[in-house]
């Protein structure tokens, strides 16, 4: 730790291991049992929970790459049990967004060279694979996985338990429980393996399948299909999660496109 710079006003929890050549700024709070790897940088206004690991070359809390930023105070909040791998970057928020805060939830893995831009919200138990880039104000809901070298347009939303194939261009929202892939990015069914691993019952999985069959394969437009689901399906957590996601979507959801080109 002697070869690192740790500002004396930084709040460092119990049993934190700080490797050589780190930089930790003044307005930083690091929880208990964290490990900050060599050459990692943690700038001002970062709050990190317990049991986190930051690997060499990662940069957390740099000012946003946003022309609206005017050197205001803004924040990064990292939950518990978060792993930030080599050379990943997580930027602070921008006040102009109305948020001023970038959030990463608990138990999330940010792999090497991934980028989390200003005012993004990454939920709990998510995985951003290496070289993923999510643009400003992207929202990644709990348990979502984004495959390597994918890029998300600003204001995109990736729903809970969704899985996005590597190398994807995410220009529209990916709804909950969905598998997304191909070119252009399309609905490819539901994330059955992931749902089974997380304890979803056969009944729940079948319910999700039938809802998406109505939304994507009934011949109705999205609004009419959602109305049909609302009227004809019994109330459930899965139904409400899907319909609420679609209702608040700003960019519209990805489509089912049988003519989409398979990923190479």
Query: Catalytic residues, which ones?
Result: 118-119, 136
CB 6 within 8 A of CB 26: no
Q: Using CA atoms, how far apart are residues 107 and 151, in angstroms rounded to an integer?
A: 22
Helix orientation angle between 202-217 and 237-248, rounded to the nearest 10 degrees: 30
CA 212 from chain centre, in angstroms, equals 23
List b or e across 117-135, with b for residues whose CB sees 16 or more CB atoms inside 10 angstroms.
bbbbbbbbbbbbbbbbbbb
Sign of the CA dihedral 2, 62, 99, 180? Answer: negative
Which residue reads 């995109």 in tokens?
A: 156
Q: Using CA atoms, how far apart are residues 90 and 118, in angstroms rounded to an integer?
A: 8
Which residue reads 């892939």 in tokens?
A: 181
Neighbours of 85 (CB within 10 A): 21
Residues facing 23 on adjacent strands: 5, 41
Please give the helix or strand (H or E) that residue 239 lies within, else none: helix 237-248
Neighbours of 136 (CB within 10 A): 23
């Amino acid at each position: 730790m002697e070869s690192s710079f740790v500002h004396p006003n930084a709040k460092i929890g119990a049993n934190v291991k700080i490797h050589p050549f780190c930089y930790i700024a003044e307005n930083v709070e690091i929880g208990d049992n964290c490990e900050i790897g060599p050459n990692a940088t943690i700038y001002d206004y970062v709050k990190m929970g317990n049991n986190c690991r930051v690997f060499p070359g990662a940069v957390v809390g740099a000012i946003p790459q946003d022309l609206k930023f005017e050197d205001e105070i803004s924040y990064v909040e990292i939950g518990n049990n978060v792993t930030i791998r080599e050379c990943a970057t997580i930027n602070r928020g921008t006040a102009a967004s109305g948020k001023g805060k970038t959030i990463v939830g608990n138990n999330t893995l940010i792999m090497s060279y991934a980028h989390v831009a200003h005012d993004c919200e990454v939920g709990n138990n998510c995985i951003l694979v290496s070289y993923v880039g999510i643009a400003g104000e992207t929202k990644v809901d709990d348990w979502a996985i984004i495959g390597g070298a994918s890029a998300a347009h600003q204001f995109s939303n990736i729903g809970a338990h969704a899985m996005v194939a590597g190398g994807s261009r995410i220009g529209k929202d990916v709804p909950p429980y969905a598998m997304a892939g191909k070119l252009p990015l399309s609905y490819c069914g539901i994330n059955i393996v992931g749902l089974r691993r997380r304890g979803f019952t056969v009944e729940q999985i079948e319910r999700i399948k039938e809802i998406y069959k109505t939304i994507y394969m009934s011949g109705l437009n999205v609004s009419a299909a959602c109305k049909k689901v609302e009227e004809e399906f019994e109330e459930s957590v899965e139904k409400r999660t899907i319909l609420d996601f679609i209702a608040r979507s700003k960019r519209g959801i990805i489509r089912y496109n049988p003519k989409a080109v398979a990923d190479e």
